Amino acid sequence: MKNIFFSKSTNILLLSTVIFSGLSWNIKPEVDNNSDKPKITIDGFTFSDLNQNGKLDKYEDYRLPMKDRIKDLISKMTDDEKANMLVGIGMPGFDLNTFKFTTEGFQGKVPGAAGGTFELKRLGIPTVTVSDGPAGLRINPKRNNDPNYYYATAFPVGTALASTWNTELIYSVGKAIGNEVKEYGVDVLLGPGMNIHRNPLCGRNFEYFSEDPLLSGKISAAIVNGIQFNGVGTSVKHFAANNQERNRLGVNVHISERALREIYLRGFEIAVKEAQPWTIMSSYNSINGTFASERYDLLTTVLRKEWGFKGIVMTDWFGGYKDLKAPFTPNIVSNVTAQLSAGNDLLMPGLPSQQQAILDNIKSGKLTTAVINNNLTRILELVFKSPSMNNYKYSDKPNLKANAEVTRQVAAEGTILLKNNSNTLPIKSTKIPLAIFGNTSYDFISGGTGSGDVNETYTVSLIDGLTNNGFVIDFELEGLYKPYVIDQKAKELERRDKNGGILATAKRIVELELNKTLIESKANSSEIALITIGRNAGEGDDRKVDEDFNLAGDEISLINNVSETFHAKGKKVIVVLNIGGVVETASWKDKVDAILLPWQPGQEGGNSVADVLSGKVTPSGKLTMTFPENFLDTPSSKYWNGFPEENPTNVTYDEGVYVGYRYFNTFKVKPSYEFGFGLSYTSFDVANLKLSATNFAEKMTATVTVTNTGKTAGKEVVQLYLSAPSINTDKPSSELKSFAKTKLLQPGESQTLTLAINTKDLASFITDKNAWIAEAGSYKITIGTSSLNSKQVAQFYLDKELVVEKTNSSFAIDTKFSDLKN
């Protein structure tokens, strides 16, 4: 194996060395001979970071404006130090042979963190530590020679969070996650992930929120605001058009500017404008021929100039390389000049060869001072506001107990009731044993795999959750399932460990085969059968149609056998979908009485689901994407992740803006369950829609009164869809423009909700005019409890065409294709 040595010296007695030993990555800690620092008091302020002459440097004087301090700091940095500051410190403790974090060698400030910025000890500048995300903080729970544990809370996956449609609740989840980030000594959480669910098969959809940009943007803004409330940062990712995992580094996404702006960028725009994330992570893929991390139009023109983003952009890990071998191939370096000049300030996780290339390009003049000063200024602004720079004394004791309560509550609220014939749910009797089928009932999946997988202390299984909620479960079935699941899971984890570590593709455990006599006996002794169907996926690969989107033969047999046997005796069958992405439901949903969709609900999953099954919580989650009847009904289904199929280098988004319900509803394709759908144990009346005006001027509000007309307390989500005139431009039949959720309404109680829309909500992006334009004419507002279930309708008028926003011409296409039109 080849050893590549990289050493960088700073002006004092420090030596920082990054060693690549084969592919295993170690960074030697720096030696600090400077610990007893003298202090100086000026105007009652005490400063301890004095320079070697015992004086206070301007950049240390926190009374001065930030920009003057940073300017001073940059002026004191050597070119070598500048080049160092623009690349990360690698991944301490990460073994690139096995793709796993180890407890060997240098671990960095927080073991298991994904990386950090350069520590410039000479000038007292610490590392800013960044760590995954997004379903909680991902760090190593165990440390070398340390008896303590450093577990973090596994919160529900992004899709489950978004399914609450409750931005206030998501803000509180953000606050809880931020508490763990800060108290474990991390500065920036690498999340939330907010790519659009373009297709049900993207392996990382569970990390993302929705097929709709407005919902994605609002949920993202809420969680970012919550996390950053703690004084730590976020990295909203992956910017942009990273909607598949297969060959994610090497794939070139061909996409129209309209689809980009209306669908794939719009959510990021909302998050930036409403939450100012400290950082944004550029995506791996190319867009119309250029790596996202090298696109000036994406990272500077649109993100900074048009939207006003103030933070830094960092690459995804090894972004700017066409695959994961390239960074370790001699003489291959990402185009650092293109990346930094585009406004991608920080190259992560950072390679010695990139630092060298930056240095060379500074020397040759290819990288201008203006460019790197911009990058450095933004990085140093991040450093200056980080807890690390401010010597925050983190406790290593976040509020895990309180946060477990938060995750239990939010997972229950994100649970969606898809079907509930003859009030099968909530389950009334707790004395007769429940017959629990399906492997996953006994080993609940809290979240997906890959960098989005949190190292939590425990995951409450469905059976434990049910028992905790006072239900009695069938012991014979438990006795059969448990040993099978434990054995199969151990084998699966071992397989994953050996085959790609963090990037290994998850495999489903085949359902335990049960004979008919056993099922019969359970149908005699139980009133209710509960079957859990489980799915797992993650970073590095996409899902498949067979035995993944479509249920496998063994799963269908289980559903068939249990439902036929139980129904023959007049008993009920409930299916729980413990999944990270959409599955086919149309072919089997009629065979069961109730279907509950908690997604991957975090570490308290079993408790949360039992809270809903028992009726302690009335379900109020709504789908954030369409469940198609068949995979092929999805507009992008054909070659959805590109050509050639095994390792796609090119993918064309020729469905244009017709993603998800925008397609299904406009083209009148019947879904199995539509966007926005979700049942309740109670019923609601939505009435009295009033618009603030009949002619639109700048903004408009719609008020509507929701009344709980049932017998159980519950919450309802109202969704405002807008149908715009489509005279000059082809448009989806209606689009979500606002939503609101009621408080917990008691039977008979009402609440009036106000939903606002602004000028941009009326507009479509018109490419040849470089503008968002609202056409004159009549606009229809539909208030619904799903995208198809309309409750109230109203109309307003826009008298004159409005140019809502002028943009800069961007994202020129690199191949000819046309977007789908209605």
Q: With H, G, I as helix, E, B as strand and everything else as coil, classify residue 561.
A: helix
How many CA atoms lie less than 13 Å away from 571 in the CB half-sphere? Answer: 26
d(CA 820, CA 809): 22
Nearer residue to ligand BGC within complex by CB, 224 or 462: 224
Q: Looking only at residues 166 through 195 of this chain, which bind ligand BGC when binding is defined by CB under 6 A?
A: 190
Nearer residue to ligand BGC within complex by CB, 262 or 316: 316
d(CA 190, CA 464): 32
Nearer residue to ligand BGC within complex by CB, 89 or 427: 89
d(CA 454, CA 407): 13
CA distances from 536 to 157, 380, 711 (A): 12, 39, 37
CB burial readout 154-176, b (16+ within 10 A) else e: bbbbbbbbbbbbbbebbbbbbbb
Pure H helices in 526-628: 553-568, 605-614
DSSP type of residue 239: E
CA dihedral 362, 234, 641, 492 (to 10 degrees): 110
Q: Which of 132, 316, 443, 541 is catalytic?
A: 316
Provide CB contacts within 8 A for 290, sequence distance 6+. none
Nearest approach, Cβ of residue 173 and ligand BGC (Å): 19
Number of DSSP helices (H) and strands (E) in the chain, helices first: 20, 36
Total residues at interface with ligand BGC (CB under 6 A): 8
Q: Which residues pair with 576 in a beta bridge?
A: 532, 596
Nearer residue to ligand BGC within complex by CB, 237 or 731: 237
Nearer residue to ligand BGC within complex by CB, 315 or 708: 315
Nearest approach, Cβ of residue 129 and ligand BGC (Å): 12
CA distances from 313 to 71, 117, 368, 376, 674 (A): 20, 13, 18, 11, 36
Q: With H, G, I as helix, E, B as strand and everything else as coil, classify residue 474.
A: coil
Amino acid at 95: D
Nearest approach, Cβ of residue 185 and ligand BGC (Å): 17
Nearest approach, Cβ of residue 186 and ligand BGC (Å): 13
Is residue 323 flagged as an active site residue? no
Nearer residue to ligand BGC within complex by CB, 91 or 551: 91
Nearer residue to ligand BGC within complex by CB, 114 or 613: 114
CB 640 within 8 A of CB 628: no
Nearer residue to ligand BGC within complex by CB, 195 or 734: 195
Nearest approach, Cβ of residue 378 and ligand BGC (Å): 19
Q: With H, G, I as helix, E, B as strand and everything else as coil, classify residue 292.
A: helix
Nearer residue to ligand BGC within complex by CB, 449 or 708: 449
Q: Is 306 in the site for ligand BGC (CB under 6 A)?
A: no
Nearest approach, Cβ of residue 404 and ligand BGC (Å): 24
Provide CB contacts within 8 A for 378, sequence distance 6+. 311, 312, 345
CA-closest candidate to residue 504, choices 534, 540, 536, 535: 540
Q: Is 543 in the site for ligand BGC (CB under 6 A)?
A: no
Helix axes 213-228, 167-183, angle to 10 degrees: 40
- How many of the other CB atoms lie within 10 Å of CB of 396? 11
CB 156 within 8 A of CB 414: yes
d(CA 250, CA 323): 6
CB 187 within 8 A of CB 128: yes
Nearer residue to ligand BGC within complex by CB, 317 or 663: 317
CB 246 within 8 A of CB 541: yes
Q: Is 413 in the site for ligand BGC (CB under 6 A)?
A: no
Nearest approach, Cβ of residue 115 and ligand BGC (Å): 7
Peptide bond just before 134 cis, omega within 30 deg: yes
Candidates 268, 317, 481, 739; binder of ligand BGC (CB under 6 A) is 317
Q: Looking only at residues 438 through 467 of this chain, which bind ligand BGC when binding is defined by CB under 6 A?
A: 451
Nearest approach, Cβ of residue 138 and ligand BGC (Å): 8
d(CA 696, CA 694): 6
Nearer residue to ligand BGC within complex by CB, 502 or 736: 502
Nearest approach, Cβ of residue 348 and ligand BGC (Å): 7
Structure tokens at 538: 């993650």
Q: Looking only at residues 93 through 152 of this chain, which bind ligand BGC when binding is defined by CB under 6 A?
A: 114, 132
Nearest approach, Cβ of residue 12 and ligand BGC (Å): 32
d(CA 806, CA 327): 39
Nearer residue to ligand BGC within complex by CB, 451 or 505: 451
d(CA 572, CA 526): 9
Q: How far is CA 125 from the centre of its chain?
A: 30
Using CB under 6 A as the criterion, what x/- string covers residues 221-240 for binding ligand BGC? ----------------x---
CA-closest candidate to residue 545, choices 423, 428, 440, 640: 640
Nearer residue to ligand BGC within complex by CB, 98 or 712: 98
d(CA 627, CA 599): 13
d(CA 565, CA 590): 15
- How many of the other CB atoms lie within 10 Å of CB of 83? 25
Nearest approach, Cβ of residue 315 and ligand BGC (Å): 10
Structure tokens at 171: 């803000």
Candidates 60, 297, 316, 611; binder of ligand BGC (CB under 6 A) is 316
Nearest approach, Cβ of residue 332 and ligand BGC (Å): 18
Nearest approach, Cβ of residue 2 and ligand BGC (Å): 24
CA dihedral 246, 251, 252, 258 (to 10 degrees): 30
CA-closest candidate to residue 117, choices 64, 69, 186: 186
Structure tokens at 578: 């413990």
d(CA 143, CA 93): 11
Task: Please give the residue ranges that form the binding site for ligand BGC (CB under 6 A).
Answer: 114, 132, 190, 237, 316-317, 451, 539
Catalytic residues: 316
